[in-house]
DNA sequence: ATCCGTCATTGATGCATGTCAATGAGAGGC
DNA sequence: GCCTCTCATTGACATGCATCAATGACGGAT
């Protein structure tokens, strides 16, 4: 009990508050949501939150650490679906079938908030702001998935990695962490898998960007030395940098701007 | 007026009823939803339903015909996001930002049902079944988008096209149309664009599959001659054929089974 | 019926990126 | 502190698919 208590915070006191809880919820509404949230103690690297086939019962958000979701095919090969940072919600794909179709695993020591889906459904019928936000959250995830499809179907390896790094950068900025200097929570293999590239390609492009003095890479530590040129490499307009990146959170869509879709490689 | 009336049907009388309206809605609930739906007369091929940048006000379902959604980048290149058949809902990606970020265009003469989003939100707070279904619908779209990401990032051209055809086949079957003999509503260019392939590749693979007597292709008319071998080509388990394909509808997820993710090309 | 524009097909060629192979560098365990 | 295992890097080579180019086939308009 004591052991657990030190990890337990309320939504009201949580530092991710602004990111995770809709700011349009009133204090009392947040309190109601808060009462439904289960906070367990941190789980270790490589421990799963849920696995494909598990009964769907809850949605999850990352409190600290990082999570990847993935599926495993018949041949036993893993396919990375997404990465989640503090304040981001995952497990949304399981609502439709009532069963998890992907697995979720901690990339490092990670604390998770769990919100029982039944309860969330009830609450969203009562709290209009919550319903609005859940719809936006789900819709936002769809938009981002479609953006990723575009990335995967039309962009070069360099563009994919550029976009990926800029996306992470944005997400760290939102969390008031350095957008230019951060640690990749995932392995190169995971990055390649996620972006549809061979590990070797990821590696080569990292070193290429390093040689161009756009990036400084030391293992998982990354420093963006020249954001402007990184944008150029990724074919991303600098002006778009502050929008559209990152996974859904309860607040997703609230701050969202129309997402520019441009910058695709011509064939 | 007379001109319009002949296209107008109620949800209750609509032949897509079972596909489009959640069957768990009671008769009176369907009547309430029905009252919110606007049915306009058919639009012609190449006419848009909405365009990127338009204010988001409604969700749409196809009543007859077919629709594609797409975005256009800065260079003016089009990127196909999805295809929608009768009973399927589109426009979901616009909820989060309040603005359409993609455009939707009729691939042939097409009738559309429109449901104002404000009203849908209101109703979903009142009608529990409707809320449940909307959440499932959105979640289902997310699952499918993730499946597509997997297709785009890991599969060969042949697998992509095989999957694409099998997906269409499933969707036609659901609509009580022939799953083995149908007309592609979209151009080769659109197929290639959607699947991240050059038109020429699509064409070549169609003829290759034809020469193997797996497929019979005559312009847009397609006949699947050997479903079993088509599955083999697509690396899809025959047993999975009846599940997991097609875009969300109001009923999406209701019939949904756990989606097998397998069958990815090994590198 | 004929014309014209869009769409589909087919072949030749090149390139981006996957695959194979081998070495190097950290990180965790005894 | 050393060992081992996993992960990252780098080079050589192979290939699937894009690109370029040209012809053919519809299908809608007049």
On whether the CB atoms of residues A192 and A149 are closer than 8 A, the answer is: no
Mean per-residue pLDDT, B165-177: 94
What is the C-alpha separation between A158 and B209, in angstroms, rounded? 33
Tell me which chain B residue has its CA closest to the CA of residue A130: B125
Judged by average pLDDT, the poorest of A172-176, A236-240, B95-99, B157-161 is A236-240
Query: What pLDDT does B214 receive?
Result: 96
User: Do strands A48-50 and A103-106 pair parallel, antiparallel, or not at all (unpaired)?
Assistant: antiparallel
Confidence class for position A109, pLDDT limits 50, 70, 90: very high
Residue A108: band (very low, low, confident or very high) from pLDDT cuts 50, 70, 90: very high
Say whether B266 and A77 touch across the interface (CB within 8 A): yes
Is the confidence at residue B262, as pLDDT, over 60?
Answer: no
pLDDT for the residue numbered B47: 93
CB contact under 8 A, B266 and A75: yes
The reply to whether B152 and B117 lie within a common domain is no
pLDDT of residue A264: 33
Q: How confident is the model at residue B244 (pLDDT cuts 50, 70, 90)?
A: low
- Residues B244-249 have a mean pLDDT of 58
**Nearest-CA residue of chain A relative to B200?**
A267
Which pLDDT score is estimated for B198? 97
What region does A53 belong to: left with phi over 0, alpha with psi -120 to 50, or beta?
left
Verify that B165 and B122 share a domain, yes or no. no
Specify the number of domains making up chain A.
2
- pLDDT band with cut points at 50, 70 and 90 for residue A23: confident
For B33, residues 6+ apart whose C-beta sits below 8 A from its C-beta are B11, B21, B25, B115, B123, B127, B130
Residues B158, B203: one domain?
yes
> Is 90 exceeded by the pLDDT of residue A21?
no
Structure tokens at A110: 């990670």
B206 touches strand C (CB under 7 A): yes
Q: What is the pLDDT of residues B21-50, one digit of tens each?
A: 767 799 999 999 999 999 988 999 999 999
| CA distance linking residue A142 with residue A171, whole number of Å | 18
Residue B99 has pLDDT above 60, yes or no: yes
Return chain A residues 190..209 having CB < 7 Å to nucleic acid strand C. 196-198, 200-201
User: For chain A, how long is the longest CA-to-CA vector?
Assistant: 60
Q: How far is CA B39 from the centre of its chain?
A: 19
Stretch A127-145: mean pLDDT: 96
Residue B50, in any domain of the structure:
yes
Look at residue A239 in the predicted model and tell me its pLDDT.
76
Name the burial class of residue A23, with classes exposed (0-12), middle (13-18) and buried (19+) by CB atoms within 10 angstroms of its CB. middle
Does residue B56 lie in a domain region? yes
Same domain, A121 and A142: no
Most distant pair of Cα atoms in chain B: their distance = 60
Picking from A128, A163, A194, the residue at the C-terminal end of a domain is A128
- Domain containing A117 equals 5-128
Q: Which two tokens stand for residue B261?
A: 């993710």
B98 and B29 fall within a common domain: yes
Q: What's the pLDDT band for B264 if we cut at 50, 70, 90?
A: very low
Q: pLDDT digits over A182-220, tens only?
A: 999 999 999 999 999 999 999 999 999 999 999 999 999
Residues 6 or more apart in contact with residue B191 via CB below 8 angstroms: B161, B164, B184, B197, B202
Q: Which of A104, A128, A152 is the last residue of a domain?
A: A128
Read off the pTM. Answer: 0.90
CATH of the domain at B194: 1.10.10.10
Token representation of residue A267:
């064939």
């Amino acid at each position: 009990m004591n052991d657990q208590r030190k990890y337990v915070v309320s939504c009201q006191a949580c530092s991710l508050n602004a990111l995770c809880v809709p700011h349009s919820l009133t204090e009392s509404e947040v309190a109601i949501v808060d009462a439904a949230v289960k906070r367990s103690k941190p789980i270790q690297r490589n421990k799963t939150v849920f696995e494909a086939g598990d009964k769907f019962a809850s949605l999850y958000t990352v409190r600290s650490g990082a999570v990847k979701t993935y599926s495993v095919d018949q041949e036993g090969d893993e396919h990375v679906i997404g990465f989640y940072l503090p304040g981001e919600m995952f497990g949304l794909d399981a609502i439709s079938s009532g069963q998890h179709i992907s697995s979720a695993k901690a990339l490092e020591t990670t604390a998770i908030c769990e919100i029982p889906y039944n309860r969330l459904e009830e609450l969203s019928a009562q709290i209009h702001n919550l319903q609005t936000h859940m719809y936006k959250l789900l819709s936002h995830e769809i938009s981002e998935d479609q953006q990723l499809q575009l990335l995967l179907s039309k962009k070069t390896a360099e563009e994919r990695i550029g976009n990926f790094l800029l996306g992470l950068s944005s997400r760290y900025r939102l969390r008031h962490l350095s957008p230019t200097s951060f640690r990749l929570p995932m392995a190169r293999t995971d990055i390649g898998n996620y972006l549809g590239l061979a590990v070797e390609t990821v590696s080569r492009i990292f070193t290429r960007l390093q040689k161009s003095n756009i990036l400084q890479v030391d293992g998982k530590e990354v420093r963006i030395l020249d954001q402007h040129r990184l944008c150029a490499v990724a074919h991303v307009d600098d002006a778009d940098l502050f929008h559209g990146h990152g996974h859904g959170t309860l607040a997703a869509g609230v701050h969202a701007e129309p997402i520019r879709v441009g910058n695709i490689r011509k064939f």
